[in-house]
Amino acid sequence: MHTITLKSDSDFFLMLNEMVKSLNTIRSDFIRKAVIHYRTVLEREKLKEQIKRASIKTREELLSISKEFDFTLYDGLKDVGLFDKIISFVIGDK
């Protein structure tokens, strides 16, 4: 095992000792677990950011594709309005 020296102010030292005492553990174990937990938190935050960026990129690509398909919605249907008017006239709808 390696030794790490940590300098702290009185408030931090008191807080650490209170937490260690309430958890019935020793400072080294507590600090070790706290650092490992913090690393996990940072990794999760990093992963969230990566997922967020990927989601935004995917959303932008899907919107672009959707816009491309919007142009095809009325292909071959230019005269549908006229066709509807003729049918309405023939069957007597007003």
| pLDDT of 60 | 84
Does residue 30 surpass a pLDDT of 60? yes
The stretch 17-41 carries a mean pLDDT of: 97
List, for residues 42-54, the tens digit of each pLDDT value.
999 999 999 999 9
Q: What DSSP character marks residue 82?
A: H
Does residue 33 surpass a pLDDT of 90? yes
Q: Cα separation of 94 and 92, whole Å? A: 6
Q: Put residue 24 in one of left, alpha, beta given phi > 0 → left and psi -120 to 50 → alpha.
A: left
| pLDDT of 25 | 97
Domain ranges of the chain: 10-91
List, for residues 72-94, the tens digit of each pLDDT value.
665 665 556 666 676 677 677 65
